Structure 1
Amino acid sequence: MVVKFLLLFLLLIIPSVVLCLDALNDDVLGLIVFKAGLQDPELKLVSWNESDDSPCKWDGIRCDPATNRVTQLNLDNFYLSGQISRGLLRLQSLQIISLANNNLSGSVNPEFAHLWGLQSIDLSGNNLSGSIPSELFEQCGSLKSVSFANNGLSGVLPESLSSCMTLQSVNLSSNRISGNLPEKIWSLNGLQSLDLSDNLLEGEIPQGFGGMYSLRVISLRKNAFSGVLPEDIGSCLQLQSVNFGENSFSGVIPESLQKLNMCSSVSLNGNLLSGEVPDWIGHMQSLESLDLSTNRFFGRIPFTLGNNRSLKELNLSSNGITGGLPQSLMNCDNLLALDVSKNLLKGKMPNWIFEMGLQKFSLSRNKFKGMIEFPSLRTNALSYQSLQVLDLSSNELSGVIPSEIKAFRGLQFLDMSGNLLIGSIPSTVGDLNMIQVIDLSYNMLNGSIPSEIGGAIALRELRLGGNRLTGHIPPQIENCSSLTALVLSKNNLTGPVPPTIAKLTNLEIADLSYNNLSGNLPKELTDLSHLTVFNVSNNNLEGELPAGGFFDSIPLTSVYGNPSLCGSVVNQSCPAVHPKPIVLNPNPSTNSDDDSFPSNSHHKKLMLSVSALIAIGAAAFIFLGVVIISLLNLHVRNSSHQLAAPMEFSGKDEFSGSPMSDSQYGKLVMFSGEADFGSGAHALLNKDSELGRGGFGVVYHTVLGDGRSVAIKKLNISSLIKSQEEFEREVKKLGKVRHHNLVSLEGYYWTPSLQLLINEYVPGGSLFKHLHEDPSRTSLSWHQRFNIVVGLAKGLDHLHKMNIVHYNLKSSNILIDNSDEAKVGDFGLARLLPMLDRYILSSKIQSALGYMAPEFACKTVKITEKCDVYGFGILVLEIVTGRKPVEYMEDDVVVLAEMVRGALEEGKAEDCIDQRLQGNFVAEEVIPVIKLGLICASQVPSNRPDMAEVVNILELIQCPSEGRDEEIEQV
């Protein structure tokens, strides 16, 4: 009886054991087949052994403890490559597949749909291609989560996606999926998270968005969606994060958005949204991050934003927002990042911002004025230490950089470039040992680069170009071992390039151009293996260029303007080491005015034999003796009745510059620094260096004895000039006039028969050359032309505020620097005449035909600043049209102002625009600029606006807003 019972038991149990063993073998077999299709360079799957009875102890595998069947496959970050084989289909109990962040390729297998128990698929961060299979969602079983993010998938979203009602999370971001959203996608009312960002999706958002009652997170960022934002977005009451940024949505922010009381993040940046930023946004009490940047919002920043105590990040940059920064933001106790850059904000610098404990603050490219101050430093020390990013660039901030900058111990990025800052760089910047970027370029900073800069040991970029810095490059710069960019161009630095720069092994960019550096370039510079830019052009360097590394292929433009440099790059051989032979120069004079003996900067050299050298040496000795005796006799004859003014050695004047004596009995005064004329004033006026001629004199480009590159104007109105006392008084007044858009007067030279004005050298050439000469020159873009008009207006406005009338406006007196900034030159020269006689003045500036205001022809009309406004108007028309003020044809004379005015009246103003722009201009800017030019060139002085009004109008034109045209017409 017992035996029969045992046999019956075995018959019942054996089939189930066999079935269980078969299932376990299916899991092992399926995973081994899957492994066979992979490459495993890190041996992450070494525990997978085909002889094992069960895979449950293998790495990345989890099993159901009741059945020992595989339920989870998690191989994230295993560095696997290859393709996903069909072996996984044998794992019939599989619930989770996670293969994220590997290097798997191939397509998504549609047969995953046959795994009925599958709940989650994560194949993100691989190299999958092809389209998303429609079969995956047609019978999706219990599928809840799908992530194919960061692959190379393409095609359209399958319509079947809308039928998989079990889905709770879908992430298809960072692929190349195109087309429209499925019409019924909002029927997935169980969906909690939808991320379709960074694809090629387009079209409008389908209706019915408000039915997504379970939705918590949605991101459609970085696609090509258009139309308006969903009006019913406020019905999705559980939404916590909304990101519709970087699309082409238009219209206004939907009012229903304010109902999202649980929403902590709203990103609508990079669209075409307009209107004012609504006040109700400040009442979204859960809001922690708000990004409305790069849209078309206007109006003021809502004061109500200060009501939001949860706000941590606020970005309103790149809009047309006006007004000031509301101080109510100080109530945002948790605010860490504030970006209001690239707007039309203005007012006094909001120094209270430094008390808020921000980590990032950007105010760049607005119109804030005033001084930078750090209030309550002692009582709020902790608030300062949290700041990491400070960007105040491209405003109109003035004053000095406070030495208390050292309080920002955690500062990593500092940008104050493009302002009106003066004074020296505070030595306390060396205390910022976490700073990575310092950009103080294009201000009016003077003094030397502090040696303490070496204390900024984490510094990666140092940009100080476009200032008035003097002194040497501090050798302590070598302590900034992480430095990748060193830009010190367009200053007045002197001395050698320190060899310590060669110790900056990470250096990629070094721009030391347009200074007064001298000496040899250190040979060790060839050790800089990462160097891509090394520009030392327009200095006074000499000797042989380093050989090797980057310097074997350095472009000529990077070393141009150093006449004493030699080497193959500059096509000038270096002198040999042995004693140099005597060289005879067939053209020894570089100052001859005789056109029959043209100068040549590269004279041919004649090498002589030893015997010839001896003979020539003896003859030269005899000749020298004769010359010396003759000069002594001449001195005796002329000493009793010397007519030239004696040398003058006076003390330093109010400009802290030194009057220096010249060998030709003249007086040289520099308003900053010191210089001398070495071999005499006349030796500097080299005809080969002539830059141009005007009604007041000839301009030369030359280099002073200290290596400073300057433009010297030799005045040719000596018979009309005032006495030396009056001349010096007026010149010193002009020397005090400083502005970013004015050519600085650096000094002067005086004798009764020779007067020189020493000006800042602007290397870009004149506006006249850019518009009318050198057809090989790239034509100015509309953006460049508009900036030139604005700079010209600001320069003239500053002159008029200093009670100086230019009188001589024309395109040849407008210089363009290497940053395409306009600089007005030749201003105030009429002040040097004994009286303002308009007929004398007219004869001296007859080259300004077409620019002269009509009141010059009438003795009874007073000459005022409105004369400059007229000339400015003509210049504006010249810049826009590319045509000269007066052009002579074969049988006609074309007056530019009359031509443009007629075209405007006929509605054909765009026909006048320079054809070289080829339609690459903004009509909304060009037409108002033309109108402004015609208004300024009115025949009646009282109808012309002041230059301050002109600047304001141009600011309105640059960023159009309502009422712009009306304001121009009213003027």
Structure 2
Amino acid sequence: MKMLFGALALLFLAPILARSLNPSLNDDVLGLIVFKADIQDPEGRLVSWNEEDDSPCNWNGVKCNPRSNRVFDVVLDGFSLSGKIGRGLLQLHFLRKLSLAKNNLTGSISLSLAQLTNLRVIDLSENSLSGTVPDDFFTQCGSLRSISLANNKFSGQIPENLSSCTTLASVNFSSNQFSGLLPSGIWSSHGLRSLDLSDNLLGGEMPKGLEDSNNLRTINLRKNQFTGQIPDGIGGCLLLRSVDLSENLLSGGLPNTMQKLTLCNDLNLRKNSFMGEVPQWIGEMRSLETLDLSENSFSGQFPNSIGKLQSLKVLNISMNAFTGSLPESMINCENLLALDASQNLLTGNVPSWLFKLGLQKVLFSENRLSGGLDGAFASSIENSLIKLQVLDISHNALSGEIPSSVGDFSSLQFLNLSRNSLTGGIPSSIGELKALDILDLSENRLLESIPLEIGGATSLKELRLHKNSLGGKIPTSIENCSSLTSLIMSWNNLTGPMPAALAKLTYLQNLDFSFNELSGTLPKQLANLAHLLSFNISHNQLQGELPAGGFFNTISPSSVSGNPSLCGAAVDKSCPTVLPKPIVLNPNSTDSTPGSIPQSLGHEKKILSISALIAIGAAAVIVIGVIAITVLNLRVRSSTSRSAVALTLSGGDDFSHSPSTDAKSGKLVMFSAEHDFSTGTHALLNKDCELGRGGFGAVYRTILKDGRPVAIKKLTVSSLVKSQDDFEREVKKLGKLRHHNLVSLEGYYWTSSLQLLICEFVSGGNLCKHLHDQSGGNSLSWKERFSVILGIAKGLAHLHQMNIIHYNLKSSNILIDSSGEPKVGDFGLARLLPMLDRYVLSSKIQSALGYMAPEFACRTVKITEKCDVYGFGVLVMEIVTGRRPVEYMEDDVVVLCDMVRGALEEGKVEECVDSRLQGKFPADEAIPVMKLGLICTSQVPSNRPDMVEVINILELIRCPLEGHEELV
């Protein structure tokens, strides 16, 4: 600790020692070097400040008097400096301006900079300075003219002796936390021109004596807690240009002396408690350009004298209790640009003079205006048509039709005529408003169809037409409004279908067509609206299946209710006439009938029907399927048996002498000459050596001459493979694949009636057994499961890099070797069977449940690698939860994807993790992995990541702080 204090002392004393050793080192250099010692300079802006220099006049941010060569300006605005303001600055005896604005300085002001007798300007604004301003800060303020402490964190009271600085012309203490009363002598500074104490916590009544500040030009006390009335003395400040007393607790009426402020340009009294009528003398303040009296309790009619304010540009009298009509004398306010009279009690028609002025903004919402718009619109002049940008006359009692001349307001960006009693149709001229962003005609009595020309308003972002009586169809031209984010047309009489053109509104966030008479099916392309937040089509006559994917995976049931013929998960109603999303097969069926058509299909959880009619129908389908498949299998078995016998009896010589042998029994090709079959007690297709059966056929185990075991898959659908060339070309392509997470293909055997694939033998069994076989007693740990998921992902990624789709991903096709490493098997086999169509193929290879991507059920959608990604997602959830993809209960079906998604929405996703892992898994890995699984099972293929992206995500989940590595 002593050493630390010693080092700090040396740091402080170093400049002083340097001065004693170098007599030429003047006070300015010394002062600035000491100041720099307390400052951090991350951008190196003070690098030119060198204590070895004789003069600081060439230092960055420093200026000197050319005659005396002494520092008179230090301006370091925006230098990103931090630290505290040290005492070194007190050495700058000739300093006139100190500006440290827009930095990151902290701490309090512990020294009286005002004591520098030549200092005229202090600007410490936009820092993080805090604490109170010392009481003696202004005791000796010399010739100080301007001080700004704005945008800091100062607190406490403003020092009373501020008023002793008679030379002060500008004081800015805005945006701090000053509290208490204003100094009683604040107005006695005769030289004071600008006082800004806005955005603080100051309170109490404003002190008297304001008339003494006869040089005051600007007073800003906005956003404080001042009470009472405006002092009468304000009228004595004849030079006032700007008065802002808004957002306080001031009350009473306006003092008559204010009419003397004939030079005042801006008067802002917004958000106080002023009351009574606005006096006629307001017209005497003829220099007013901005008058804001909003959010008070003014009442009565607005004075006719307002017409004298010919310089007036902005008038805001909103949120008061003004009655009657605005005076026609306002036609003389020829410079008026913005008029806000909303939320009052104004009556009568929309003023006929309103659009004769060159107004840009007109707000009359929430009044009691009546009559039509024809008169006001007809009286407009060409000049106003170009300028008007905002028109809001909503929430009144207007009637009649919307004039077609509304299309002449070519600069209009915001038009709100909602909550009136307007009738007729929407004029086609609306389409001429090319700059229009928001159109709100809701809650009127509009009839007829929405004009096709509305598509001409190409800048529209919000279109609100709800609660009218509009009929006809939704115009397809709406697709031209490509910037739309909100499209609200509920509670009308719209008919016909929802046009597919809506799917082109890619920025759409909110769509509401509820309570109409729409019919037909929903365009599937709506699922591609990536920014959709709400979608309500309830209470229509829509039918068919809801779009799948994206927002529609989590759509609220209330948003689609009231459409009896609509089906899908959200309405808890299956779609019997449409093929399922993922295909789910009955787990009680066996692979002995691999080509049978599944009876019960669907992705969502459904209650299985037990009615007699359905049971009879399903039984009939099964019987017909069994008969057909039995005949086919008998034919295949007959030819296969003959070939198998020939193969077995051909002896080892036919197989061992050459890696490629043509014999009477067929053609055998081994991809490595080192691997030949041995003869002996193991027949090639010995029933006792059978390892299992799958959708493509049975698998047997046999031994090579070197003692290494291999697996042989006999294809049961061999009679469908007609071309030997096609078969060999595909098998050789698969044989070239080598990856530590893929089962290697070692060779093949061919005859026209029998095909065998010779594969690497993996001793650890398949993943399905490890996950669901409870007899062993051992369960995969979380670390092992994560490694399996990552290994599967790497194997699939390698397949996809070689342009090979697996087609048949499931846990029984994932083998585990002796070191626990997963190996993906049975890949690419579907390419060997070109004669199988998609549906037969899908029912054959998906012998396990729930892995099939929804596009298998749609013949018009291309099968891509994203099908494998879907199956991988199901596998991920199966591995984490320990549950099968589909589980049949007594009366219902539980689909794993739906279960996990529902748990995620309810915040209970941790409960889905395999119970055998409870307390033994990291939630920060398991939950993101399950979320990744859900993303991979998106209904829309384009929303699923590719496998390389999956690997990167998994690596980030496991090692979030480590860099990316080559993973495949």
Q: What band does the TM-score fall into relative to the shorter chain? A: 0.5 to 0.7
Percent same amino acid among aligned pairs? 52
The 1:88–1:33 alpha-carbon spacing in structure 2 relative to 1, beyond 3 Å, is: farther
- Distance in 2 (alpha carbons) for counterparts of 1:279 and 1:490: 48
* CA shift for structure 1 position 247: 1.5
Q: Conserved in 1, the CA contact under 8 Å of 2:31 and 2:90?
A: no
Name the residue aligned to 2:962. none
- Distance in 1 (alpha carbons) for counterparts of 2:525 and 2:106: 48
Q: How does 1:354-503 map to 2 (within 5 A)?
A: 354-373=355-374, 380-503=381-504
> Is 1:320 equivalent to 2:324 in the alignment?
no
- Distance in 1 (alpha carbons) for counterparts of 2:114 and 2:607: 85
* CA shift for structure 1 position 193: 0.8
Please say which of residues 538-547 and 413-422 is displaced more in the overlay: 538-547
The 1:519–1:197 alpha-carbon spacing in structure 2 relative to 1, beyond 3 Å, is: farther
Name the residue aligned to 1:787. none
> Is 1:173 equivalent to 2:174 in the alignment?
yes
> Is 1:25 equivalent to 2:29 in the alignment?
yes
Name the residue aligned to 1:299. 300
- Distance in 1 (alpha carbons) for counterparts of 2:315 and 2:34: 52
Q: Conserved in 1, the CA contact under 8 Å of 2:351 and 2:376?
A: no
Name the residue aligned to 1:207. 208
> Is 1:148 equivalent to 2:149 in the alignment?
yes
Name the residue aligned to 1:120. 121
- Distance in 1 (alpha carbons) for counterparts of 2:84 and 2:135: 20
Name the residue aligned to 1:257. 258
Q: Highest relative contact order (Cα 8 Å, sep 6+), 1 or 2?
A: 2
Please say which of residues 45-54 and 394-403 is displaced more in the overlay: 45-54
- Distance in 1 (alpha carbons) for counterparts of 2:551 and 2:329: 54
Amino acid at match of 1:149: A
1:513-560 Cα deviation digits (max 9, x unpaired): 322334444444454444433333333344444454444444443333
Amino acid at match of 2:364: L
Amino acid at match of 1:348: N
Name the residue aligned to 1:162. 163
- Distance in 2 (alpha carbons) for counterparts of 1:525 and 1:86: 68
- Distance in 1 (alpha carbons) for counterparts of 2:117 and 2:571: 75
- Distance in 2 (alpha carbons) for counterparts of 1:82 and 1:553: 51
> Is 1:37 equivalent to 2:40 in the alignment?
yes
Q: Conserved in 2, the CA contact under 8 Å of 1:28 and 1:54?
A: no
* 2:324 aligned counterpart, secondary structure: coil
Calculate the TM-score normalised by the size of structure 2: 0.55
Amino acid at match of 2:396: N
Amino acid at match of 1:159: E
- Distance in 1 (alpha carbons) for counterparts of 2:156 and 2:525: 56
* CA shift for structure 1 position 192: 0.9
The 1:551–1:612 alpha-carbon spacing in structure 2 relative to 1, beyond 3 Å, is: closer
The 1:379–1:478 alpha-carbon spacing in structure 2 relative to 1, beyond 3 Å, is: closer
Please say which of residues 295-304 and 58-67 is displaced more in the overlay: 58-67
Name the residue aligned to 2:269. 268
* 1:253 aligned counterpart, secondary structure: coil
Q: Conserved in 2, the CA contact under 8 Å of 1:417 and 1:443?
A: yes
* 1:266 aligned counterpart, secondary structure: strand
* 2:195 aligned counterpart, secondary structure: strand
The 1:359–1:577 alpha-carbon spacing in structure 2 relative to 1, beyond 3 Å, is: closer
> Which runs of no fewer than 5 residues in structure 2 stay unpaired?
1-18, 584-605, 622-968
Q: How does 1:5-24 map to 2 (within 5 A)?
A: 21-23=25-27
* 1:139 aligned counterpart, secondary structure: coil
How many residues get paired? 580
* CA shift for structure 1 position 442: 0.9
The 1:231–1:353 alpha-carbon spacing in structure 2 relative to 1, beyond 3 Å, is: same
Q: Conserved in 2, the CA contact under 8 Å of 1:517 and 1:541?
A: yes
* CA shift for structure 1 position 217: 0.7
- Distance in 2 (alpha carbons) for counterparts of 1:227 and 1:138: 31
1:248-294 Cα deviation digits (max 9, x unpaired): 21111100000112111111121111111111111222122211112
1:53-74 Cα deviation digits (max 9, x unpaired): 6554455443322344333333
1:184-226 Cα deviation digits (max 9, x unpaired): 2222222111111222222111222221111111111222211
* CA shift for structure 1 position 355: 0.7
Amino acid at match of 2:164: S
Please say which of residues 471-480 and 338-347 is displaced more in the overlay: 471-480
The 1:276–1:50 alpha-carbon spacing in structure 2 relative to 1, beyond 3 Å, is: same
* CA shift for structure 1 position 82: 5.5
Name the residue aligned to 1:236. 237
* 1:73 aligned counterpart, secondary structure: strand
- Distance in 1 (alpha carbons) for counterparts of 2:610 and 2:242: 81
Please say which of residues 278-287 and 539-548 is displaced more in the overlay: 539-548
- Distance in 2 (alpha carbons) for counterparts of 1:536 and 1:425: 23
Amino acid at match of 2:343: K
Amino acid at match of 1:73: V
- Distance in 1 (alpha carbons) for counterparts of 2:51 and 2:244: 48
Amino acid at match of 1:209: L
* 2:138 aligned counterpart, secondary structure: helix
* CA shift for structure 1 position 347: 1.1
The 1:452–1:49 alpha-carbon spacing in structure 2 relative to 1, beyond 3 Å, is: farther
* CA shift for structure 1 position 358: 1.0
* 2:302 aligned counterpart, secondary structure: coil
* 1:203 aligned counterpart, secondary structure: strand
1:756-807 Cα deviation digits (max 9, x unpaired): xxxxxxxxxxxxxxxxxxxxxxxxxxxxxxxxxxxxxxxxxxxxxxxxxxxx
- Distance in 1 (alpha carbons) for counterparts of 2:377 and 2:515: 41
Amino acid at match of 1:250: S
**Root-mean-square deviation (Å):** 3.4
* CA shift for structure 1 position 421: 0.9
Q: Conserved in 2, the CA contact under 8 Å of 1:30 and 1:90?
A: no
The 1:142–1:564 alpha-carbon spacing in structure 2 relative to 1, beyond 3 Å, is: farther
Amino acid at match of 1:235: G
* CA shift for structure 1 position 109: 4.8
Amino acid at match of 1:129: S
- Distance in 1 (alpha carbons) for counterparts of 2:614 and 2:320: 77
- Distance in 1 (alpha carbons) for counterparts of 2:524 and 2:72: 67
Name the residue aligned to 1:822. none
- Distance in 2 (alpha carbons) for counterparts of 1:393 and 1:170: 43
The 1:17–1:33 alpha-carbon spacing in structure 2 relative to 1, beyond 3 Å, is: closer
Please say which of residues 77-86 and 184-193 is displaced more in the overlay: 77-86
Name the residue aligned to 1:612. 616
* CA shift for structure 1 position 306: 0.9
* CA shift for structure 1 position 125: 3.0
The 1:524–1:197 alpha-carbon spacing in structure 2 relative to 1, beyond 3 Å, is: farther
* 1:382 aligned counterpart, secondary structure: helix
The 1:520–1:265 alpha-carbon spacing in structure 2 relative to 1, beyond 3 Å, is: same
Name the residue aligned to 1:64. 65
The 1:105–1:389 alpha-carbon spacing in structure 2 relative to 1, beyond 3 Å, is: farther
Q: Conserved in 1, the CA contact under 8 Å of 2:87 and 2:111?
A: no
1:425-452 Cα deviation digits (max 9, x unpaired): 1222222222222211111112233333
Amino acid at match of 2:388: L
- Distance in 2 (alpha carbons) for counterparts of 1:109 and 1:528: 60
Name the residue aligned to 1:534. 535
Name the residue aligned to 1:845. none
Q: Conserved in 1, the CA contact under 8 Å of 2:377 and 2:405?
A: no
Name the residue aligned to 2:852. none
The 1:491–1:379 alpha-carbon spacing in structure 2 relative to 1, beyond 3 Å, is: closer
Q: Conserved in 2, the CA contact under 8 Å of 1:374 and 1:404?
A: no
* CA shift for structure 1 position 459: 2.5
Name the residue aligned to 2:674. none
* 1:361 aligned counterpart, secondary structure: strand
Name the residue aligned to 1:674. none
Name the residue aligned to 1:345. 346
Calculate the TM-score normalised by the size of structure 1: 0.55
* CA shift for structure 1 position 369: 1.2
Larger-gyration structure (1/2)? 2
- Distance in 1 (alpha carbons) for counterparts of 2:202 and 2:179: 4
The 1:330–1:24 alpha-carbon spacing in structure 2 relative to 1, beyond 3 Å, is: same
